Amino acid sequence: MKQGILEAYRDRIERGLSRALHGHAPLRALLRYHIGLEDETGAPARATGKWLRPSLVLFVAEQLGGASDVALSSAVGLELIHGFSLIHDDIQDRDRVRRGRPAVWTICGIEQAINAGDLMHTLAIAAALDSSPTAANCLIRATQQMIEGQSQDLDFERRTVTSNEYLTMVDRKTGALLRCAFELGGIAAEAEDRVLATLTALGQAVGRAFQIQDDLLGIWGNDDMLGKATGSDIRRRKKTLPIVQLFEHARGEDAAVLETIYDGDGDRDLPPEDVARVIEHLDALGIRAGCEALVHKHLDEALHRLADLPFDDSAHDRMRELIEFLARRQK
């Protein structure tokens, strides 16, 4: 039975991250905790995420004939950038839990968590430089785009947003590191420009499909206990794509009601009755179906780009399986 991409490289990625984060300084221990390699006491742990981005780097490089050690340095650098972004995201969003464990800032305070994130950023660039200056430059550009996207996302909380603006933000905040994963794999394999361009386009399509599906789950994802939509993103007044489209399509009294609901204290969750009213408006306007169609559109684009890559049949199948999982996951 063929091994999935997310399982194939876990041991190598773990070893690479352990090497990059070794050391006895307190900040290093915080970073190992955040990545999931240790618990709060410093004991070994396996509380990591999927390691999607570094797995993509290693898979693409392998399929294109790249050196495994060069690709691993790039993969580690990319995952550390992702980790850095999550530390800062949790601070900005005041999220107290990350992957079922206390977020870093709740353990050491905001000030030290910022320092931990900054250290992770520098270690990421150092790891990418071990791969090549070209890889480091690719990672730096993606990091800049990701930070700009995060800034746009925060700005959207205070003003009206169009669907085009939102998708442009997604291409930066979410898409930048996914594009970078495909690009870094190609760079490690010294792929020609045509292949690199195809990898970049593939990464962008996957990023859009991934984020829109995430937005759908943030509203219509089922509560395992209640068996109904949680509306978690609505409760927090997050302007994800369904909400952006709702404001674009709502008219008259409906628009006025929505403005009133979203114009309250942004630091307080919406009450259940307001969440239910927003979901009713979304359902009445068919917003869910429209967003699902966009997921399928970008999924089809990704699969079209994948077909142009010089992978063997087995590699095409494994990548298709992963892309479809990301675009259709239910949690």
What is the pLDDT, as a whole number, of residue 182? 98
Write down the CATH number for the domain with range 201-331: 1.10.600.10
Q: Where along the chain do its domains lie?
A: 1-191, 201-331
- pTM, entire model: 0.95
CA torsion 274-277-279-285 (nearest 10°) is -140
What is the pLDDT, as a whole number, of residue 171? 98
Beta strands in 74-189 (DSSP E): 97-98, 101-102
What is the pLDDT, as a whole number, of residue 89? 96
What is the pLDDT, as a whole number, of residue 55? 98
What is the pLDDT, as a whole number, of residue 224? 55
What is the pLDDT, as a whole number, of residue 228? 46
Those residues whose C-beta lies under 8 Å from the C-beta of residue 150, and which sit 6 or more positions away, are 85, 88, 89, 92, 173
Same CATH topology for 1-191 and 201-331: the answer is yes
CB 329 within 8 A of CB 216: no
Q: Does domain 1-191 have CATH number 1.10.600.10?
A: yes
What is the pLDDT, as a whole number, of residue 266? 62
What is the pLDDT, as a whole number, of residue 129? 98
Q: Which residues of the chain have pLDDT under 50?
A: 1, 225-228
What is the pLDDT, as a whole number, of residue 265? 62
Structure tokens at 297: 């559109």
Cα 291 from Cα 233, distance rounded (Å): 15
